[in-house]
Structure 1
Amino acid sequence: MSITIPKETLTFFNKLAKNNDRDWFNEHKPDYKAIEVKMKVVYNHLGELMQTHDKIEKVKVFRIYRDVRFSKNKLPYKTHFSGSFARRKPELRGGYYVHIQPNNESFIATGFWDPNKEDLQRIRKEFEMDASEMRDILANKTFKSTWGNFTGDELKTAPRGFDKEHPAIDLIRKKQFIFTKSYSDKDVLQDDFLESVNDAFKKIRPFFDYMSDVLTTNLNGESLL
């Protein structure tokens, strides 16, 4: 029997979106806890599938409670289920994310959400020196049909110390290196959904191999590990 996203996950979050308050949630908390148990099985199973082609160090399922301390949005609960998959550090870089939300808002994401200052500078210097390998990865038909192009934040102009006329300035300006893939509710509830997500994650590997190599070597290609 295949492990699938329980349909009640989408139903519950649709109801929660219309009743996002503590009284309603506390009344329906047993329903949520039952869904949470099933969804943790889903995320852990996906982690096992990913171990066949990557080294996953940690599977983390995020809590439903929102941190509202510094947010204008004071609604107490998330209206989605989400989790992340960390690769084995320090030799493997990048991460994976799976977001399940009703009304065709589900998506998966992968890449580098918040590279630290040193890593970002190292990536930019690599692109400044030679961006051809990154261009080839992005242009690959299989890769492109699955993941498209980068999303994420970028500078409006060149970072300090870089030529704004550099032919790779479109890559150098980026602050995040993220790919996303959207799914409909119908997609999410298919029997082979987890297999399709795993297959998409498998296809990100050329990008991860390249970035891991960049971030574990200096500009001369010498290992830093």
Structure 2
Amino acid sequence: MIKSETFNFLNDLAANNNRDWFLVNKGRHDDARTNVLEFAGEVITGLSKFDHTIPSGLDPKDCVMRIYRDVRFSKEKTPYKSNFGAGFSQNGKKFNGPGYYLHIHPEGSFIAGGCWMPEADLLKAIRQEIDYNGSDFRAIIEDPSFIKYYGKPESEYKLKTCPKGYDSDHPEIEYLKLKSFTFSHMLSRAELTNSGAVEQVVNGFAKLNPFIAFLRNAIS
């Protein structure tokens, strides 16, 4: 489980996002990060049992992201993130394609997965797969149990017009307009500090696995 102390650290960091405070509280950060690494390790074990592209021996350190913010190209200049994040794929957090993601934040934790803003060649391949196998795609993401848990795909970056090569009357046109293929499910602090937190995260990823597999097949 994620410890209450981990969430407390993130809360305090958000209120004191500066290097002087962080230096004094570096030990709290290290303890929180260790907690997240241990949690990620248990998630990896669970993931690898149904998604065999995820090595059971994947190092959690290759999945959990650093808390230090890259401010070079960002309008947000605070030096630290107010969350812990972990990406899960064959190569941990370094993946260009489908994968799973865990976001730990006192006021907005969630699990997610898919292919976020794929590059042009990957986007073309995913759209082509949806074009060719729309019924299979719908069977996955329009399954009632899937919708109940994940809802609709992320549509923030959805095109307002049809993508090149597809007509407005295409049966899958609303999905073909997507530029990012991801789903997410919010998790409360109570859920993540519960003894069944790892199982809940793993089960959530398991529900997402057929969608991930569809995307992988599209770009393979």
- Per the normalisation by structure 2, the TM-score is 0.89
Q: 2:25 aligns with which of 24, 28, 31?
A: 28
Identity of aligned residues (%): 36
Contact 2:6 2:35 in 1 (8 A): no
Q: Which residue of the partner structure matches residue 160 of structure 1?
A: 164
Is residue 115 from structure 1 mapped to residue 118 from structure 2 by the alignment?
yes
Where structure 1 has 5 or more consecutive residues not aligned to the other structure, the ranges are 217-225
Contact 1:87 1:94 in 2 (8 A): no
Aligned-partner residue type, residue 137 of structure 1: I
- Structure 1: distance between partners of 2:214 and 2:76: 38
Q: What are the superposed Cα offsets for residues 29-49 of structure 1, whole Å, 9 maximum, x if unpaired?
A: 111112212221111111111
Aligned-partner residue type, residue 136 of structure 2: E
Q: 1:76 aligns with which of 75, 79, 84?
A: 79
Larger radius of gyration: 1
Higher helix share: 2
Q: Which residue of the partner structure matches residue 220 of structure 1?
A: none
- Structure 2: distance between partners of 1:34 and 1:215: 39
- Structure 1: distance between partners of 2:113 and 2:4: 25
Please state how far the C-alpha of 1:149 moved relative to its aligned partner: 1.6
Please state how far the C-alpha of 1:71 moved relative to its aligned partner: 1.0
Aligned pairs for 1:31-180 (under 5 A) are: 31-55=28-52, 56-57=54-55, 58=58, 59=60, 60-87=63-90, 94-103=98-107, 105-152=108-155, 153-180=157-184
Aligned-partner residue type, residue 47 of structure 2: M
Please state how far the C-alpha of 1:144 moved relative to its aligned partner: 1.8
Aligned length: 209
Is residue 9 from structure 1 mapped to residue 12 from structure 2 by the alignment?
no
- Structure 1: distance between partners of 2:133 and 2:65: 38
Secondary structure of the structure 2 residue equivalent to 1:197: helix
Contact 1:62 1:82 in 2 (8 A): yes
Contact 2:87 2:102 in 1 (8 A): yes
Aligned-partner residue type, residue 131 of structure 2: E
Q: 2:206 aligns with which of 202, 206, 212?
A: 202
Secondary structure of the structure 2 residue equivalent to 1:213: helix
Aligned CA RMSD, in angstroms, stands at: 1.8
Where structure 2 has 5 or more consecutive residues not aligned to the other structure, the ranges are 92-96
- Structure 2: distance between partners of 1:138 and 1:39: 30
Please state how far the C-alpha of 1:125 moved relative to its aligned partner: 2.1
Please state how far the C-alpha of 1:168 moved relative to its aligned partner: 1.4
